[in-house]
Structure formats: structure tokens, C-alpha cells
Chain A
Amino acid sequence: EPEVTQTPSHQVTQMGQEVILRCVPISNHLYFYWYRQILGQKVEFLVSFYNNEISEKSEIFDDQFSVERPDGSNFTLKIRSTKLEDSAMYFCASAGTGRVETEAFFGQGTRLTVV
């Protein structure tokens, strides 16, 4: 069964450092997403990506964040200068279409801990 895979599963980084979270979406999917979940809080939308550009981003997704699909398979989320409050589970998701009834498949997440 196709699945979304994320690496690493856990990343510990010092405040101010750059981190790159990696995702391999399902191969024939065209829509890609990043969400985050701070411990004990709801899953929050960060950004959607289609046709090699950001289609929508949330207020959370400020200039410290960027996304890229460098090689047609990987989909990355970069945080330029991490802050303590960036500590969270980050989930990548992909979907075949952007239609409302289309299932989005989520990866298992990367737990980011900023110390």
C-alpha cells in the first residue's frame, strides 16, 4: 500500500539552527501539505503546495519557513532559525487532487525538539 514517508522521525536541534524536514509523498500525488501539532494542541495547517509553488499558507508559515520539491520526489520543509516554540510534531500529507472529497494521506510525522 502506498504511503507517505517522513525523515527523520525525531530531530533535536539547538535554538537558532536551521532544520530540514523531509517527506516522500505518494508517487502519483500532485498536492502536498505540511501540518504541525504542538503537544496537546490541535493539528494546524502550515502550507499547501501544488505545481511547484505554494498555493496557500497560514499565518504560522512566516519568513522563517520555506518549502521545496527539489527533485520531483522529496518535499521538504525548512525552518531557517528555529525557536523553542517550533517544537512540535510536523506532518507531511499528499493528495491526488485538491477536491474536497479527496483523501489526504499523512506521514507518520517528525518530532522536532528545539532546545
Chain B
Amino acid sequence: TQLLEQSPQFLSIQEGENLTVYCNSSSVFSSLQWYRQEPGEGPVLLVTVVTGGEVKKLKRLTFQFGDARKDSSLHITAAQPGDTGLYLCAGAGSGNTGKLIFGQGTTLQVKP
């Protein structure tokens, strides 16, 4: 069974601080995606990483896929209150159906 574990589950920081969220598995994933979910809304894709060791940047967000494609991280530089939300990692399941396996999410609160 493919599982994804996210850490930490909750993070409360001050505006301007940096943070890293981790997504780990004992299984290899062909790709990993990071989503952001607002209350009462569906997940919205931030980025997809496909190649082991890949690093992608989205403004102040940096995403990395582990060399062995078993883990990923999301690093936010100089967090802002607008970054507050639930961050989800999701891995492409085995098979070619496009199924996603989600981590349990990290709730981030950035205080002004």
C-alpha cells in the first residue's frame, strides 16, 4: 500500500519566517504534486514534480523531489499571512489511471 506522511501537521509562524513542509513515503512515486486547499474548497494544484532531484520554484515557494522519488519538500521563504492554508502532497498511484494518493496535509498559519 502506498502511503504519504506529511510533517508537521500544524505549523504556526510569524510573518517573515521561513518554513519547510515534508512529505515522505517508503514507496517510489512516479510523480508528486503539491496542492493548497482553502476551507470549503477543493484542492488547487501548485506544482508537479516528476524527475528525481527536481527542484521547482513558484515565487517564494520551492518544491523539491527526492532523488529516490520517495519524498518531497515544500519550502516557503518569508512567509506572509496570505500563505495561510492547508497544504497537501499527493503522489501518483501505481497504474496509469491518474489516481492520486494524498498525505494528511499540513495546516499553516502565518501571523502578521
Given contacts A42-B105, A100-B31, contact A33 B98 (CB under 8 A): yes
Residue B19 CB within 8 A of the other chain: no
Residue of A nearest to B29 (CB): A100
Q: Are B40 and A100 in contact, CB atoms less than 8 angstroms apart?
A: no
In the complex, what distance in Å separates the CA atom of A93 from the CA atom of B42? Answer: 9
Is A98 part of the contact surface with B, judged by Cβ < 8 Å? yes
Pairwise interchain contact A101-B50, C-beta atoms closer than 8 A: yes
Please state if B43 and A101 are interface contacts (CB–CB under 8 Å): no
**Contact (A101, B31) CB under 8 Å given A42-B103, A91-B43:** yes
The number of residues on chain B lying at the interface, defined by a beta carbon within 8 Å of a beta carbon of chain A, is 26
A105 to B98: give the CA distance in the assembly, Å: 12
On whether A106 and B99 interact (CB within 8 A), knowing A45-B93, A100-B30, the answer reads no
Query: From residue 93 to 111 of chain B, which have CB atoms closer than 8 A to chain A?
Result: 93, 95-105
How far, in angstroms, from A35 to B105 measured CA to CA in the complex? 15
Residues of B within 8 A of A (CB): 30-31, 33, 40-45, 48, 50, 88, 90, 92-93, 95-105
Excluding A93-B42, A104-B98, 15 further A-B contacts by CB distance (< 8 Å) are A31-B98, A33-B98, A33-B100, A35-B102, A41-B104, A42-B102, A43-B100, A45-B100, A45-B101, A99-B96, A100-B31, A100-B98, A104-B100, A106-B42, A106-B44
